[in-house]
Amino acid sequence: MTIAALAALTVAPVAVAQTHGLNRADMNLNVNPGDDFYEYAGGGWMKANPLKPEYPSYGVFNDLAEKNRDQLKELFASLASEKHAFGTVGQKVTDLYSLAMDSDRLNREGAAPLKADLAEVAAFRKANLTPFIAKTHLTLGNPFFGIGVETDLKNSDFNAMWVSAGTSGLPDRDYYLSTDADSKKLQQQYRDFVAQMYMMCADYKKKDAQRAAKLIYDIEYQFAEAEMDRAEARDYTKLYNIRTLDQLQQDYPAIQWRQYFDLMGVKGLDWVILEQPKVMAVAQKLMTTLTEQQMRDYFTWEVVSRATGQLSDEIGEASFDFYGRKLSGQQQRQPRWKRAQNYPNGMLGEAVGELYVNKYFAHGSKEKMLGLINNLRKSLATHIAGLTWMSDETKVNALVKLNAFTVKIGYPDKWRDYSGLTVDPSKPLYDNVKAATIYETRRNLDKFGKPVDKDEWGTTPQTVNAYYNPTTNEICFPAAILQAPFFDVEADDATNYGAIGVVIGHEMTHGFDDQGRTFDAEGNMVDWWTAADAERFTEQAEKLAAQFDEYTVVGDLHANGHLTLGENIADQGGLRIAYDAFRQTQQFKDGQQLDGFTPAQRFYLSYGRIWAQNSTDEYIHQITKSDPHSIGRLRVNATLRNIDTFFDAFGIKPGAKMWRDPADRAIIW
C-alpha cells in the first residue's frame, strides 16, 4: 500500500503534538506501513532519540526508566535534607546512596576494602573446603555451585531447596564455545580483563595474573561445555531433578553436604532439586582436581569480580571498558548518581518502592487497570472457547486456570520489613553491600520448608516491567509501568489497549505459552493437556519458532526462535486478545478517526511505538544469544505478520514486505 493510498483513508490529518495518546512526530510517515511497520510506527521517535553513549540500547522502556530515575533522584535529595534516626528506612536509604556517591572516599579506599576477604582466601586449605564454601556462599558469591530456596514446581505451596552449578563471566555459553574470529578476539579480551583485575584488586604480579586469568577462563569453559543451551533449559522438566542428600554425597563427594547445609543454617533437609547434573559433575571434578593454589585463584576471582563497581573509579572504569565498551558497545558509564541509585534500589527495594509510590503513583490508575484486566480476561476466555484446534476437555482446564489468575497492580499490600539490615556509613560501601548479601541470603534460606508466601512480589514498584509467575499463577504490573506511553488515563482507548492492554494480554498469555502451559491453575507442574492437543500446540509453536529463525538480526547472526518462543507466543497472544477486547469499546464501535487514523490503526501504532529502540550491534548480538526476548524490530514486524486484523487495518495486500499468506501464519491463542 502506498503512502498516497493510505492518505486516502484519512480525513484532513493535522500534524499537531498531542499531550496524550499517539504523537505523529514519533512516526516515520515516509515509510510504507506494509513495508516496515516498525519504522513507520516508531521511526520518528528513534530519530529523535539517537543512542545515548551511556546505553548499549535505548528504547521507550529506557525512556520511562529515565523518568523514574529523575523521580528517585528528587526523592533521595528530599530524604537527604531531613534528619533520620539510625536504623530507620530514611537513614538506610540516605546513607547507602551517599556512600555510593562519595567518589573521593571510594577513590581513597581503592581496593583496600577487599583486603580482609582476600586474606581469608590466602589462608584457604583444601581440608577446609566445605566450611570455606559455606561461608563464601553466605557472603561473597557462589564458587562451583550455589543454592537457593524457590517454589517446588510440583508442589506450589512448598518452598524447596534448589542447587545449581557453574560460574561464568560472559553472558552465555556460546561466548566460550564459538570459534569464529570475533569470538576468539572477545575471549582474549576477557582473559586480559581478568588478569587486569587480579593486578588492580588483588596485587597479583603480571605473570601470576595471566596464569590465574587462564585458569578462570578454563574453569568457566568447562562449565559452558556441560551446560544446556538456553533454549533447551527452557524445559522445566529437564531442570527438575530430585536428589536426596545421600545421593548428593555419593555423586558429588567433594563437599560434605550435611555439614554444608548445617553451616548454611538449613535444618531438616532431606532432598534437593538439582538443576543441571552434568554441570554439577564438572564442579565435582574441579573441586577434586584443582590444586590448593588454583582454588585460591578461583576464590580470589569470586571476591574481585563482584566488587568492581563498589571500589575506585579506576577499577570501575576498567571493568566498564570490558563489559560496557567491548562486550556491549556502550561508550560511557552512566553518571554516578544513576549508578548510586542501584544500591538502595537493590538492597532496600521495597522500602524505596513505598516511598516512590507514596510520592508519585496515581492511585486512580489501579482501578482503571482492573477494568482493563477484566476486559482482557474475558477476551482471552472467548479466544480459548473458540479455538478449533483444542478439545473441550483441555479448554475447560485452560478456562479454570485463566479464572484462577491472581492480579497484582501497583504495589504490594504489605511492605517488606528491613529492620534486620544495618547500613553503617562508617564502613566502606563494599562492607555494606556484603552485609546486605548476607541478609538477603539468610532471608531466602529461612524460607526453606515453609509455605510459599503468595502475596510476595517478584519485583519492586519502581521497576518498569511486568511479569507472569507460573508457580503462583499471577500477573503483576508495578506502578512504574503504569505511565505514558504504556498507560495514560487521559489517552484514548486505542492507545491504552495497544500499549498496556497488549502488555496485560502478553502476561496472561505467558500462562499458556510453551512453559506456562505446563502448570495448572494452582501453579503445579502438571500435564493438563490431552496428547492430541499438546501435539497441535507444539506444531503451531514450532511454526512460529521457524518464522523467527529466518530473520537475520546483525551480521550473519539469526534470531533464535526457540529461545524466544515463550515471549513471541505471549506477544502474539497479547495482541490478539487486546485487540478483541478493544473491539468492545465505544471508540472502536464509533469508528471515528482521530488525528487522521482509525481506531484500529491507532491500536497497532501504539503497539509499534512502545518497542522503538536504538541498539549497538554488540548489544543485539548479546541479547540474541542470551535473552528470551526478541529485539524490538522483530517483536513488531515478525509478530504482526501473523495478525489478520493488522493487515485489514492498514489495507496491506499480497506483494507488500509485511505480508504473509494466511496459510503460513502461525496462530496459537
pLDDT in tens, 597-615: 999 999 999 999 999 999 9
Q: Could you tell me the pLDDT band of residue 8, with boundaries at 50, 70 and 90?
A: very low
Q: Could you tell me the pLDDT band of residue 245, with boundaries at 50, 70 and 90?
A: very high
User: Does residue 6 surpass a pLDDT of 90?
Assistant: no
Q: Could you tell me the pLDDT band of residue 19, with boundaries at 50, 70 and 90?
A: low
What type of residue sits at position 57? S
> What is the structure's pLDDT at 2?
30
Pick the CATH number of 112-310 from 1.10.1380.10, 1.10.3720.10, 3.50.50.60, 1.10.10.60: 1.10.1380.10
CB contact set of 247 (below 8 Å; sequence gap of 6+)? none
> What is the structure's pLDDT at 362?
78
Which helix (H) or strand (E) element contains residue 98?
helix 89-101
Per residue in 110-146, pLDDT tens? 999 999 999 999 999 999 999 999 999 999 889 999 9
* Distance between CA atoms of residues 669 and 661, nearest Å: 18
Per residue in 483-527, pLDDT tens? 999 999 889 999 999 999 999 999 999 999 999 999 999 999 999
> What is the structure's pLDDT at 363?
75
Q: Could you tell me the pLDDT band of residue 4, with boundaries at 50, 70 and 90?
A: very low
Pairing, β 406-410 against β 474-478: parallel
User: Does residue 214 surpass a pLDDT of 50?
Assistant: yes
CB contact set of 609 (below 8 Å; sequence gap of 6+)? 22, 26, 27, 41, 42, 45, 60, 485, 499
> What is the structure's pLDDT at 453?
96
Look at residues 503, 533, 566, 248 and name the one whose alpha carbon lies nearest to residue 398.
533
Give residue limits of the domains in the chain: 3-67+349-414+455-664, 112-310
* Distance between CA atoms of residues 525 and 515, nearest Å: 10
Per residue in 46-82, pLDDT tens? 999 999 999 999 999 999 999 999 999 999 999 999 9
Q: How far is CA 256 from CA 274, 277, 302, 484, 504, in A?
A: 16, 17, 21, 54, 47
> What is the structure's pLDDT at 366?
85
Range with the lowest mean pLDDT among 18-22, 33-37, 380-384? 18-22
> What is the structure's pLDDT at 9?
29
Reading the block at residue 620, the C-alpha cell is 543485539
Q: Could you tell me the pLDDT band of residue 12, with boundaries at 50, 70 and 90?
A: very low
By the 10 Å C-beta count (0-12 exposed, 13-18 middle, 19+ buried), 199 is classed as: middle
CB atoms within 10 A of CB 170: 21
* Distance between CA atoms of residues 310 and 308, nearest Å: 5
* Distance between CA atoms of residues 327 and 339, nearest Å: 19
By the 10 Å C-beta count (0-12 exposed, 13-18 middle, 19+ buried), 600 is classed as: buried
> What is the structure's pLDDT at 365?
80
CATH class for the region spanning 3-67+349-414+455-664: alpha beta
Q: What is the mean pLDDT of residues 476-488?
A: 93
> What is the structure's pLDDT at 142?
94
Q: Are 455 and 340 in contact (CB under 8 A)?
A: no
Per residue in 264-310, pLDDT tens? 999 999 999 999 999 999 999 999 999 999 999 999 999 999 999 99
> What is the structure's pLDDT at 15?
33
> What is the structure's pLDDT at 13?
30
Look at residues 567, 559, 565, 577 and name the one whose alpha carbon lies nearest to residue 541.
565
* Distance between CA atoms of residues 504 and 155, nearest Å: 27
* Distance between CA atoms of residues 528 and 210, nearest Å: 54
Residue owning grid cell 524505596: 352
Q: What is the pTM of this model?
A: 0.92
Q: Could you tell me the pLDDT band of residue 165, with boundaries at 50, 70 and 90?
A: very high
What is the average pLDDT value for the chain, to the nearest integer? 94
Q: Could you tell me the pLDDT band of residue 320, with boundaries at 50, 70 and 90?
A: very high
Q: What is the mean pLDDT of residues 432-456?
A: 96
Q: Could you tell me the pLDDT band of residue 344, with boundaries at 50, 70 and 90?
A: very high
Percent of the chain with pLDDT over 90: 95
What type of residue sits at position 155? N
> What is the structure's pLDDT at 14?
31
Q: Could you tell me the pLDDT band of residue 20, with boundaries at 50, 70 and 90?
A: confident
